[in-house]
Amino acid sequence: MLGVGTAGKITVISSGDGHRVFALRGDTIGDAVGASSAPAGDVNSDGVPDVIVGSPGVPIRNLVHAGRVGILSGVNGHILRRFTGQEPEARLGAAVAGGPGFDRDGVPLDKTSNAITLRVHAP
């Protein structure tokens, strides 16, 4: 069940030295931020892998549980791209997929450089 009584949260931890890269907390009870996540590759070509995070419980305008998917910078969690559900109960972001080659140049990325590990806390 999505979002029982709390907003979602994700924390991204460096697999290099274990430091917390960034954390993101939802702002709506039941938003299910972090219900799904995946590596995104280096979407913005800054040399650091980015992450895809699904938030299927997020309301969009007056659309209950329309959902949202964000591609977040692996440096600081800033939103690089955002996709939103377009109808009530669409629950966009219930599942996401990506991979180290998911970027704009079509060239597979080096999996050993600047790797990060996701720890996801779903509501």
* Residue ranges binding Ca ion (CB under 5 A): 42, 44, 46, 48, 50
Q: Which is nearer to Ca ion, 63 or 116 (CB)?
A: 116
Instruction: Report, in Å, the least distance between residue 61 CB and Ca ion.
Output: 29
Q: Which is nearer to Ca ion, 34 or 74 (CB)?
A: 74
Instruction: Report, in Å, the least distance between residue 47 CB and Ca ion.
Output: 7
Q: Which is nearer to Ca ion, 20 or 89 (CB)?
A: 20
Beta strand spans in the chain (E)? 9-14, 20-25, 36-41, 50-55, 68-72, 79-84, 116-121
